[in-house]
Chain A
Amino acid sequence: MAGTAVPGRLTWRVATLVDAVEETPTARTLVLEVPGWPGHLAGQHVDVRLTAEDGYRAQRSYSLAAPAKGDLVRITVQELADGEVSPYLVRGLSIGDPVELRGPVGGWFVWRPTDPSPVLLVAGGSGVVPLVAMVRARREAGVRTPFRLVYSVRSPGDRLYADELNRPEPGLDISYVYTRTTPEGWPAPPHRIGVPDVNSGGWPAEFEPACFVCGPTGFVEKVADILVALGHDPRRVRTERFGG
């Protein structure tokens, strides 16, 4: 049975970089061709593995950034100054280069277009990636599920997918929280996300939205606490933390 995929069992595949998009000076979207890709849900991620010439291996998880187009999948990688894997994926990997990948994985932090609940997305930094995957899945499915996105980011120049998110989209409201530098004339000074940001940018708890929170651990803990304090059912608050 060599070469036959066993359903449900995850195996490493060799993906090839076929295109790349510079999102910010430190973040890049990789378009990878993965032969036989089975499709995925918004919010799922992949594991990426790099092997050095001496056999040393490093493995990281990255959220899928968009619905698949056939065998093409997208991940957006934020370069970390002390990272082992991200600097290579952002600056080292060239078009045509192979990289090992397995997935899709994760069945908890996912949004399905068939879920009619309003959706609240709260992103900290590059935590926006799986949440924009949900926005894109909504667009592609052509559903009218009301979405709100609260996006906390250091400065205007750090925003991922800025052009796409600047375009008005019916049923999608976006609010920004700037933690270090604001655009000129912005009504609020730089600050860390707080109750007023989540309250005014989100949905009332009575609407029973599905809440998805993704970002650094401290950010996610804080936002999840705020949502529960605002009356949201903890079971409707799904979180994904990526450390830091």
Chain B
Amino acid sequence: MDGGTEFVDGNALAGTLAEVFAVDVTAALARCGSCGETGPLAGLRVYGRAPGLVARCPGCESVVLRVNRGPGAAWLDLRGATCLRVDLPD
């Protein structure tokens, strides 16, 4: 994943989000707040390099998620996702 100039995909969110969540959320289903397309976070189009990542819907290109890992804190902006479904064992 080195040297890309275009977008990569939501798999690239895994490391930063694993710092925040107790489960891997790249396999979680997110619904785009703009067009309603639902798919795994891993399927989002991710622009930018660490520490700031912007993830867009593959259907309509709206921003679904932004995450920024700064000194001593992570900022997570999920305004473009209306819901997140995470598979968990009972």
| A interface with B by C-beta (< 8 Å) | 7-10, 45, 47, 59-62, 77-78, 80, 82-86, 102-103, 105-109, 216-217, 238-244
Contacts and interface: CB of A to CB of B under 8 A. Distances in A.
Contact of A108 (B2, B4, B22, B26): B26
Contacts of B40: 108
Contacts of B12: 61
A106 B2 contact: no
B4 A107 contact: no
A212 to B, nearest CB: 12
B7 A45 contact: no
Contacts of B11: 45, 61, 106, 108-109, 240
Contact of B7 (A59, A82, A243): A243
Contacts of A107: 14, 23-24, 26-27
A83 B23 CA distance: 31
Contacts of A243: 1, 3-8
Given A47-B15, A106-B11, A217-B6, A60 B22 contact: no
A134 B40 CA distance: 21
10 contacts: A8-B18, A8-B22, A10-B15, A62-B1, A84-B3, A85-B2, A86-B2, A108-B24, A239-B9, A240-B11
Contact of B18 (A59, A85, A105, A216): A105
B81 interface: no
Contacts of A86: 2-3
Listed residue (A62, A77, A242) with the most chain B CB atoms within 10 angstroms of its CB: A242
Interface of B: 1-12, 14-15, 18-19, 21-24, 26-27, 40-43, 49-50
Nearest to B25: A107
Q: Is the interface of B mostly helix, strand, loop or mixed?
A: loop
Contacts of A105: 14-15, 18, 24, 26
A85 B4 CA distance: 12
Contacts of A103: 15
Nearest to B51: A59
A137 to B, nearest CB: 18
A38 to B, nearest CB: 12
Nearest to B22: A8
B44 to A, nearest CB: 11
B42 A217 contact: no
A2 B6 CA distance: 40
A106 B26 contact: yes
Contacts of B43: 108, 239
B2 A45 contact: no
Contacts of B7: 217, 241, 243
Given A108-B10, A240-B11, A243-B1, A9 B19 contact: yes
A221 to B, nearest CB: 10
Contacts of B42: 106, 108-109, 238, 240
